[in-house]
Amino acid sequence: MTTTKELWENALVELELTISKPNFNTWFKDTHVVKVEDGTVFLGVPSQFARDWLSTKFHKDILRSLRGLSDTVRTVEYIISRGPKKHTDEPRTVPAPPSELPLENVHAKTNLNPRFTLSSFVVGPFNELAHAAAQAVIRKPGIAYNPLLIYGPTGLGKTHLIQAIGNHFRMSAPERKVQYVTSEKFSMDYVASLQAGKVQSFKEKYRQYDLLIMDDVQFLAKMEKTKEEFFHLFNYLHDGNKQLVFSSDQHPNVIQNLEDRLRSRFNAGMIISVTPPDHESRLAIVRTKAAAHNVILPDEVLEYLATAVEGNVRELEGALNLLLIQFELRSEPLTLNDAKMLLRGASSATKKAVSVQEVVRTISGFYGVEESSIYEKTRRKEVVRPRQVIMFLLREDFKISFPTIGEKLGGRDHTTVIHSCEKIKNDLRNDSVLSGELNQIRLMLK
Amino acid sequence: MKFDTNTDELRNAVTTAARFVERRANLPALAGILISAEGSRLTLRATNLECGVEITIPAKVATAGVVAVPAAILSGFLGNARGKVVSGTVSGEVLKLETERASASIKTLPHDDFPVLPRVSAERSFTAKAGDLSRAIRSVAYCASLSAVKPEQQSVLLVGDAGKLTAVATDSFRLAEKTVPLRGSATGTASLLVPARNAAELMRILDAGGGEAEIYFNENQLSTHVGDIYYTSRIIDAAFPNYKQIVPKTFLTEALVLREDFGAALKSLSIFADKSSHVTLAVDPKEKTITLTSRNPDVGEQVSTLRATITGEAVSMSFNGRYLADSLQSTSGDSIKLQFNGAGKAILIKDAGDDSFFYLAMPMNR
């Protein structure tokens, strides 16, 4: 069964062949199926002009092609509906415009979600640095830390924090322009402006902001032209002392394909990582979120929750929601055992099984060494490091025993494996590049 | 198809219809005017799919028929035509027009592709004198935005309520509102957003037609008959900003100046104003003067002082001089009232003896 959208698209392809091009472009542009009911297709058209003309002139053609595609279509009705709104941007021609009349919501288009504020942000040792930097940026935008880049694995509140900066900035200086955008949206905007031949208005649109917040900048690395445009935008805003705030899932130094000129610019400001929360922070987060829902859960349940769901705050919230909905459904309070039952699937203890070979293949591919050399007895430096990383990950993430790891990796002694794991663990403390690499490998293994 | 008709009438009809023709239309037929001859009249139809017009003129029709003719050629030829009568004959794909001294053969367009104009049922409507309606639109239409970003700001809002018709337009930097009387009261809630370009065409048709105009409308379309002209336009389905709440009720400073003085001063200041038409107004209640200054580093500067009746505090603010001057075209009295609320707040401009119009403009940032 095709969807109604596909049905109409297929019909359009047929109609395009039977109707002259100017006619097709004039009348069938901007048409879409609104709904299908009891064999009646409701066709959304942009204006009464189009409605009247389609129904007098092209009704037979439309009906014939729709019937040819689907037996259930009996008739077609035309209704006026503009469908998804299109954005047309034109450059403002007025230089130094006077301030605008306060027509409501004229500048509410900051893209910010007002839910994200600093007051709803739980601070712990894992993110206090990022939180402090955000506060500094709010106090002295453009001066304190510019650009500010917050990086860390998914689900740790990066987006929350950078949106909170935007929200506070907007409240303290309502006349200044704030924009929150994901790198993906930025890129789409750019491509759309290229297609429409309106690059200039794209540039002007982004250069007007006093605070630009961009989420997930790591994706920019893959997009060549966008990256270049971003570079110019960055320079323009930074030179004008406009505040820039970014988030990324990696340290810019380890983002692949990122050019040095961009990397060094990120490094010129403040780069702060958020790490997965420790146990106490997780407990604090669970308490805050539960309180926000006006639900009091027994301490032991909260404790269990914080222990069972490691790492990601988002998963923690998901698990908590699971408990809350149960709490609402039944009248009696939740016990620890109930929680254990409910969270069996959600707990991060269950790791999916991955073959050692697969891990070896992924990591050797990542470091660009021969897969077979991992199993050999060689001690060449370029092989030793990847091998140690493999051992570390097999132990840490997949909980494989030391002797098994040694055996699988070319019959090595378990003490060698222990040494490797310790080595990597030690190196991780003061080597941000290594931790970035590990993050990236973990993503690849998922 | 064969007909005879009055040259002047056909010329006027073609000139009006030609304004509705879009030159760069996707559909070739839309570059033309559709002429249909039937009974004892010719009907001319033109549309750009935003708005459309149908004009009926009396004619002696020998053979009925329909033909679509390129608007530019037709109006160009008729513009220079002499003599009382023009006769037209269609043979094959050519329309032959004959006047007293000239004859032209014009290649026609495929008229099958020419769309019908939307009709609006008479359920909801309001009636006004054509002159009043046209004046209301003219008084505000220049405030509409040229940018297509916000369709509601590219339009003129017409609200019919309790025997009054209110027209409003804004581009978010300034706003104008004009109220004119209605004939009878509107049926149903009448609140329409007409694209400013279409409203301008409506205005010209109202001016040409005169008499009374009954506007019919539904959610998507409005139409009207003015004399022998049927006009229809798309209307915009968007929310107009709730502007009433931003119109100030109290003022810190009020000044009364002669309209002519103010207009002349602004005109001559515009020579010296910079690109953004920056004009500074200093109101001095003690001296009873308003001093207007404009300065352009490349040209020089000018200071004009106007006598004025002033109540309230002294104030000095900067405006876009063009915006101030624009407001004067909608006032007709001898003197105008300028009302201020201090720095950063909008100025309200009114005709001193006429409450049917006001104009609100924001000051400039500097």
* Closest chain B C-alpha to A18 CA, distance in angstroms: 14
Residue B118 lies in a domain: no
Residue B366 lies in a domain: no
Give Cα separations from A339 to A242, A329, A344, A345 (angstroms).
Answer: 48, 14, 8, 11
Q: Do A99 and B344 touch (CB under 8 A)?
A: yes
pLDDT band at A87 (very low <50, low <70, confident <90, very high): very low
What's the average model confidence in pLDDT over B80-86?
Answer: 88
The rounded distance, in Å, linking the Cα atoms of A347 and A344 is 6
Q: Do B173 and A50 touch (CB under 8 A)?
A: no
Domain with residue B134: its CATH number is 3.10.150.10
**Does B238 lie at the interface with A, CB-CB under 8 angstroms?**
no
Is the pLDDT at A339 greater than 80? The verdict is no
Express each pLDDT in A398-418 by its tens digit. 888 888 888 888 888 888 889
What is the CB neighbour count within 10 angstroms for residue B122? 10
The residue from B215, B244, B273 where one domain ends is B244
What's the average model confidence in pLDDT over B108-131?
Answer: 88
The verdict on B267 and B231 lying in the same domain is: no
pLDDT band at A344 (very low <50, low <70, confident <90, very high): low
The verdict on B21 and B101 lying in the same domain is: yes
Q: Which residue has the tokens 């900067």?
A: B318
DSSP A3-19: -HHHHHHHHHHHHHHHS
**Does B323 lie at the interface with A, CB-CB under 8 angstroms?**
yes
Q: Do A98 and B323 touch (CB under 8 A)?
A: yes
For chain B, what is the radius of gyration of the CA atoms? 25
Is the pLDDT at B157 greater than 90? The verdict is yes
- Do B129 and B167 form a contact (C-beta atoms < 8 A)? no
Choice among A353-357, A367-371, A379-383, B300-304 with the minimum mean pLDDT: A353-357
Measured at the alpha carbon of residue A79, what is the angle toward residues A78 and A84, in degrees to the nearest 5?
120
The residue from B217, B244, B271 where one domain ends is B244
The pLDDT value given to residue A345:
59
What's the average model confidence in pLDDT over A436-446?
Answer: 79
Is the pLDDT at A201 greater than 80? The verdict is yes
The verdict on B218 and B252 lying in the same domain is: no
Residue B340 lies in a domain: yes
The verdict on B232 and B269 lying in the same domain is: no
The rounded distance, in Å, linking the Cα atoms of B30 and B46 is 7
The residue from B244, B270, B293 where one domain ends is B244
Is the pLDDT at B23 greater than 80? The verdict is no
The verdict on B132 and B149 lying in the same domain is: yes
Which structure tokens are listed for B90? 């269609």
The pLDDT value given to residue B356:
92
**Does B26 lie at the interface with A, CB-CB under 8 angstroms?**
yes
**Does B84 lie at the interface with A, CB-CB under 8 angstroms?**
no
- Crossing angle, helix A224-239 and helix A199-207, to 10 degrees? 40
The verdict on B304 and B334 lying in the same domain is: yes
Question: Could you report how far apart the first and last alpha carbons of chain B are, in Å?
Answer: 66
- What is the rounded average pLDDT for all residues in chain A? 80
- Stated as kind and residue range, the H or E segment containing B63 is strand B51-63
Residue B150 lies in a domain: yes
Q: Which residue of A has its CA nearest to B153?
A: A103
Q: Which residue has the tokens 């004939």?
A: B183
Q: Provide φ and ψ at A317, rounded to 5°.
A: -65, -40
Is the pLDDT at A328 greater than 80? The verdict is no
The verdict on B235 and B175 lying in the same domain is: yes
Percent of chain A whose pLDDT exceeds 70: 89
Contacts of A156 (CB under 8 A, 6+ apart): A126, A127, A274, A275, A276, A277, A312, A313
Measured at the alpha carbon of residue A226, what is the angle toward residues A220 and A231, in degrees to the nearest 5?
85
- Do B57 and B228 form a contact (C-beta atoms < 8 A)? yes
The verdict on B314 and B325 lying in the same domain is: yes
Which structure tokens are listed for A95? 């230089």
The verdict on B211 and B255 lying in the same domain is: no
The pLDDT value given to residue A229:
87
Q: Do B173 and A94 touch (CB under 8 A)?
A: yes
The pLDDT value given to residue A369:
85
Choice among A90-99, A285-294, B271-280 with the minimum mean pLDDT: A90-99
Is the pLDDT at A56 greater than 80? The verdict is yes
- Do B305 and B316 form a contact (C-beta atoms < 8 A)? no
- What is the rounded average pLDDT for all residues in chain B? 90
% helix, strand, coil for chain A, step of 5? 55, 10, 35
The pLDDT value given to residue A346:
54
Of B115, B172, B246, the CB nearest to A49: B115
**Does B237 lie at the interface with A, CB-CB under 8 angstroms?**
yes
Express each pLDDT in A272-299 by its tens digit. 888 888 888 888 888 887 777 777 777 8
Choice among A99-103, A348-352, B62-66, B310-314 with the minimum mean pLDDT: A348-352
C-alpha torsion angle, residues A49, A50, A55, A57 (rounded to 10): 90
The rounded distance, in Å, linking the Cα atoms of B265 and B279 is 11
- Chain B residues near residue A102 by CB distance under 8 angstroms: 246
Residue B171 lies in a domain: yes
Which structure tokens are listed for B199? 């409203």
The larger pLDDT score, comparing residue A217 to residue A96, is at A217
The pLDDT value given to residue A22:
84
Q: Do B319 and A98 touch (CB under 8 A)?
A: yes
Query: What is residue A125's DSSP assignment?
Result: T
> Checking DSSP bridges between strand B174-181 and strand B354-361, what pairing results, if any?
antiparallel
Residue B111, classified by CB atoms within 10 Å of its CB into exposed (0-12), middle (13-18) or buried (19+), is middle
The verdict on B156 and B68 lying in the same domain is: no
Residue A294 half-sphere exposure toward CB, CA atoms < 13 A: 1
Give the B window 49-68 contacts with A, CB below 8 Å.
Answer: 49, 52
Choice among A391-395, A440-444, B166-170 with the minimum mean pLDDT: A440-444
Domains of chain A, each with CATH number or no CATH: 4-80 (3.30.300.180), 118-273 (3.40.50.300), 279-342 (1.10.8.60), 356-445 (1.10.1750.10)
The pLDDT value given to residue B273:
85
The verdict on B252 and B353 lying in the same domain is: yes
Q: Do B115 and A89 touch (CB under 8 A)?
A: no
Of B119, B237, B362, the CB nearest to A100: B362
Express each pLDDT in B298-310 by its tens digit. 889 999 999 999 9
- Chain B residues near residue A56 by CB distance under 8 angstroms: 116
pLDDT band at B259 (very low <50, low <70, confident <90, very high): very high
pLDDT band at A101 (very low <50, low <70, confident <90, very high): low
The pLDDT value given to residue A164:
86
The pLDDT value given to residue B222:
92
Number of domains within chain B: 3
Q: Which residue of B has its CA nearest to A48?
A: B118
> Checking DSSP bridges between strand B155-161 and strand B190-195, what pairing results, if any?
antiparallel
Residue A295, classified by CB atoms within 10 Å of its CB into exposed (0-12), middle (13-18) or buried (19+), is middle
What's the average model confidence in pLDDT over A170-184?
Answer: 83
- Chain B residues near residue A96 by CB distance under 8 angstroms: 275-276, 278, 364-366
The pLDDT value given to residue A331:
65
Residue B84 lies in a domain: yes
**Does B91 lie at the interface with A, CB-CB under 8 angstroms?**
no
The pLDDT value given to residue B366:
55
The verdict on B102 and B8 lying in the same domain is: yes
The rounded distance, in Å, linking the Cα atoms of B167 and B138 is 9
The rounded distance, in Å, linking the Cα atoms of B217 and B224 is 9
Q: Do A96 and B366 touch (CB under 8 A)?
A: yes
Residue B120 lies in a domain: no
Residue B145 lies in a domain: yes
Q: Which residue of A has its CA nearest to B343?
A: A99
Is the pLDDT at A192 greater than 80? The verdict is yes
The pLDDT value given to residue A348:
47
Domain hosting residue B150, numbered range: 125-244
Position B157: which residue type? L
Q: Which residue of B has its CA nearest to A58?
A: B113
The rounded distance, in Å, linking the Cα atoms of B291 and B262 is 11
